[in-house]
Copies of this chain bind each other. A is one copy, B any other.
Amino acid sequence: MASSSSLTLSQAILSRSTTHASNPLPSFSLPTYSALKSSTNPTTPSLYVSARAAPRLTTRRRPIRASAAVETLDKTTDTSLVDKSVNTIRFLAIDAVEKANSGHPGLPMGCAPMGHILYDEVMRYNPKNPYWFNRDRFVLSAGHGCMLQYALLHLAGYDSVKEEDLKNFRQWGSTTPGHPENFETPGCEVTTGPLGQGVANAVGLALAEKHLAARFNKPDSEIVDHYTYVILGDGCQMEGISNEACSLAGHWGLGKLIAFYDDNHISIDGDTEIAFTESVDTRFEGLGWHVIWVKNGNTGYDEIRAAIKEAKSVKDKPTLIKVTTTIGYGSPNKANSYSVHGSALGAKEVDATRKNLGWPFEPFHVPEDVKKHWSRHVPDGAALEAEWNAKFAEYEKKYKEEAAELKSISTGELPAGWEKALPTYTPESPADATRNLSQQCLNALAKVLPGFLGGSADLASSNMTLLKMYGDFQKATPEERNLRFGVREHGMGAICNGIALHSPGIIPYCATFFVFTDYMRGAMRISALSEAGVIYVMTHDSIGLGEDGPTHQPIEHLASFRAMPNILMLRPADGNETAGSYKVAVDNRKRPSVLALSRQKLHNLPGTSIEGVEKGGYTISDNSSGNKPDVILIGTGSELEIAAKAADELRKEGKAVRVVSFVCWELFEEQSDAYKESVLPAAVSARVSIEAGSTFGWARIVGSGGKSIGIDKFGASAPAGKIYKEYGITAEAVIAAAKSLC
């Protein structure tokens, strides 16, 4: 293994590096010359060390930071093209933030070298087709440093980031928003900013690659073969979500995931000494990662190159390359301080930085030689894609079936008639919990959708999410489709975002108890924002879970997702509605769906249908005429049968009663006014809703003249039937409310 070879180097190197660090070089010097893509001279040991080899030295080192504010480059020789490119990146970031008077220049200034090496020397991509299937993926988990990525996309020739876009950084309607957004800027794979999400997305992207490679690669054709790179900072490292996702990455042995940890020791509140003194290296070794330490991330290009080479050689583990950098590198007065993290440098300091780094150019200028050098990526990228296309054509000839599946996955064109696989039910079908009915749908879909895979956060046997025809996705069996996330809800959600955004035809689902959406809401909101069509299978959706008590009983959760933009909150009532919910969820590839499913058995009701679910709200039974019922009873999920039962009683007493299933508010909202009027006629103000959850929001549906039966307090620990009764979620309550209105 590569790490053992680096053991021998480390001792000598460490003393060198430390000496260097304690002898800061003077300011206002010119960058060193170094040959472009220079290979490591075998007589000079490369300036990187394996953290594994020298764990004691991975703890805080004061000298580097203490001197960093005046630390600059070596002035021995002429500016090299790499230095020039790196400084171009730095100044594009500085200038864009300065023009916007808003943004985060510090990270791009410190991470420009690793950014340059990745995009110019290492990564395989096609700037003119950011969606080329086999591209290397890059995620900037420290999303506030987005100007790094925009500068790189610009240099590489992506159409999404032209010079004017850089000048419109953080402005209305620009493709260069304040954090990377995949839906605004082709070339950004995912949406980051909320810390820790990106590295978890990267785990998902790497998982997707490993899974697809295992399923589709052949001895004579490695048709799926790319790396996933990520840059994360101290903030990402502190977030629990990153530990969750990285623990899984280690467990799964995602060898083609290479993470750069921008170890700059500065976060918004100042030096990380005040809140973050753990040994990240040791933790990652515990998580099963290969760990490398690049001591000089500011100018140590060869160290960075060698670390990437080593990382690639370690195939059974993900690699963390800890790159020690100086935030705001090059700024004589602000480098290595929080003041350069999240604010423009200011005109005076921009000038000082220009002088310090020897940068005589106007704002936003890309020197001709730099431009010329980067210009090769457009033809090279096109060639890479063409080469892969030719390879795929060969593959298609030999492996017709696999090629068709892979095509569906890479294009998002689902197999025709897939929805016919969904089961349907009649009122005579046995009563069952919607979590069980959900499992029937999941298993049916897995047979017809090549990109369908997923799992649960250690509740597979409660959420009923196992795909019976597949085994577990594990290190040694990555071709399988059951994902085992462990008790890591937040990581699970963000990993699924990464999986979903890997390819348009991959459809990940994930599961836990509905109440634990509270643990993963950060990731679910990013699903909604970043148009990742993840399917959230959320069981035990009310007090109906019974004895586990209020910590496990959702109350406000339905309302909380109904209020969230671009996410479908579905609460099916029986078999047909569960199937309908999956129909909707699979159809909505740019909008995530949350399915709230019961633990308890429910009857299959007359009148429910897949088509009804697609309209969000629809009449399941009605004995009125002329669209003038005496009262409309509205229910969702497990309470729809209570509404139906109440209707039966009321009809016996001569009332004209309509029962409406309100399975998905968002879909109903999208229907025509005429349709809405046909279900909820404005003239009928006698409306009663029943739902075992918060009544918050129902006033809009039942109107000022209606009544809402629900739960506006926490639940209780007792058998489910008892709680329903004590909380008044009963047909009797519906009947009483209805009678009071009509």
Contacts of A525 in B (CB 8 A): 518
CB distance from A360 to the nearest CB of B (A): 29
Interface stretch among A281-289, A295-303, A365-373? A281-289
Say yes or no for A275: interface residue by CB 8 A criterion: yes
**Contact between A170 and B717, CB atoms less than 8 A apart:** yes
How many angstroms between the C-alpha atoms of A465 and B268 in the bound complex?
13
**Contact between A276 and B486, CB atoms less than 8 A apart:** yes
**Interface residues as binary, A695-727 with B (CB distance below 8 Å gives 1, 0 otherwise):** 011011001110000001110111100110010
Say yes or no for A280: interface residue by CB 8 A criterion: yes
CB distance from A701 to the nearest CB of B (A): 8
Interface size on A, residues (CB 8 A): 114
Known: A280-B286, A560-B560. Contact between A239 and B549, CB under 8 A? no
Enumerate A336-384 residues with CB–CB distance to B below 8 Å: 338
Say yes or no for A509: interface residue by CB 8 A criterion: no
Enumerate A281-321 residues with CB–CB distance to B below 8 Å: 281-288
Which residue from chain B places its CB closest to the CB of A515 in the assembled complex?
B194
**Contact between A244 and B239, CB atoms less than 8 A apart:** yes
**Contact between A717 and B174, CB atoms less than 8 A apart:** yes
**Contact between A529 and B696, CB atoms less than 8 A apart:** no
Enumerate A119-162 residues with CB–CB distance to B below 8 Å: 143-144
How many angstroms between the C-alpha atoms of A190 and B309 in the bound complex?
50
Say yes or no for A243: interface residue by CB 8 A criterion: yes
CB distance from A546 to the nearest CB of B (A): 7
**Contact between B700 and A516, CB atoms less than 8 A apart:** no
**Interface residues as binary, A263-279 with B (CB distance below 8 Å gives 1, 0 otherwise):** 00001110010111111
Interface stretch among A14-22, A563-571, A620-628, A654-662? A563-571
**Interface residues as binary, A217-258 with B (CB distance below 8 Å gives 1, 0 otherwise):** 000000000000000001110111111100110110000000
Say yes or no for A607: interface residue by CB 8 A criterion: no
Say yes or no for A181: interface residue by CB 8 A criterion: yes
Contacts of A552 in B (CB 8 A): 178-179, 193-194
Contacts of A100 in B (CB 8 A): 547
**Contact between B235 and A487, CB atoms less than 8 A apart:** yes
**Interface residues as binary, A73-92 with B (CB distance below 8 Å gives 1, 0 otherwise):** 00000000000000000000
How many angstroms between the C-alpha atoms of A516 and B491 in the bound complex?
16
Interface stretch among A62-70, A412-420, A442-450, A456-464? A456-464
Contacts of A110 in B (CB 8 A): none
Contacts of A722 in B (CB 8 A): 171-172
Say yes or no for A50: interface residue by CB 8 A criterion: no
Say yes or no for A555: interface residue by CB 8 A criterion: yes
How many angstroms between the C-alpha atoms of A11 and B424 in the bound complex?
63
Which residue from chain B places its CB closest to the CB of A237 in the assembled complex?
B487
Among candidates B275, B459, B551, residue contacting A529 with C-beta atoms closer than 8 Å: B551
How many angstroms between the C-alpha atoms of A194 and B564 in the bound complex?
23
Contacts of A485 in B (CB 8 A): 275
**Contact between B462 and A547, CB atoms less than 8 A apart:** no
Say yes or no for A472: interface residue by CB 8 A criterion: yes
**Contact between B268 and A549, CB atoms less than 8 A apart:** no
Contacts of A248 in B (CB 8 A): 275
Contacts of A697 in B (CB 8 A): 559, 563, 696-697, 699
Contacts of A173 in B (CB 8 A): 718
Contacts of A102 in B (CB 8 A): 546-547, 719
CB distance from A275 to the nearest CB of B (A): 3
Say yes or no for A31: interface residue by CB 8 A criterion: no
Say yes or no for A503: interface residue by CB 8 A criterion: no
CB distance from A676 to the nearest CB of B (A): 14
Say yes or no for A103: interface residue by CB 8 A criterion: yes
Known: A548-B193, A559-B560, A696-B563. Contact between A486 and B244, CB under 8 A? no
**Contact between A522 and B519, CB atoms less than 8 A apart:** yes
Known: A194-B516, A458-B238, A519-B194. Contact between A474 and B274, CB under 8 A? yes
Which residue from chain B places its CB closest to the CB of A490 in the assembled complex?
B240
Say yes or no for A113: interface residue by CB 8 A criterion: no
How many angstroms between the C-alpha atoms of A243 and B551 in the bound complex?
21
Say yes or no for A556: interface residue by CB 8 A criterion: yes
How many angstroms between the C-alpha atoms of A704 and B461 in the bound complex?
45
**Contact between B275 and A458, CB atoms less than 8 A apart:** yes
**Contact between A251 and B239, CB atoms less than 8 A apart:** no
How many angstroms between the C-alpha atoms of A671 and B399 in the bound complex?
72
How many angstroms between the C-alpha atoms of A676 and B116 in the bound complex?
63
**Interface residues as binary, A476-513 with B (CB distance below 8 Å gives 1, 0 otherwise):** 00000000111111110000000000000000000000
Say yes or no for A195: interface residue by CB 8 A criterion: yes
Enumerate A516-542 residues with CB–CB distance to B below 8 Å: 516, 518-519, 521-522, 525-526, 528-529
Which residue from chain B places its CB closest to the CB of A485 in the assembled complex?
B275
On A, residues with C-beta under 8 Å from B are 100, 102-103, 143-144, 170-174, 177-179, 181, 191-196, 234-236, 238-244, 247-248, 250-251, 267-269, 272, 274-288, 338, 456, 458-462, 472, 474, 484-491, 515-516, 518-519, 521-522, 525-526, 528-529, 546-552, 555-556, 559-560, 562-566, 694, 696-697, 699-700, 703-705, 712-714, 716-719, 722-723, 726
Can you sample 19 A-B contacts with CB below 8 Å? Answer: A170-B717, A172-B718, A177-B717, A179-B551, A194-B552, A235-B487, A238-B488, A240-B241, A247-B278, A250-B278, A267-B486, A274-B474, A278-B286, A283-B283, A490-B490, A555-B564, A559-B696, A563-B697, A704-B704
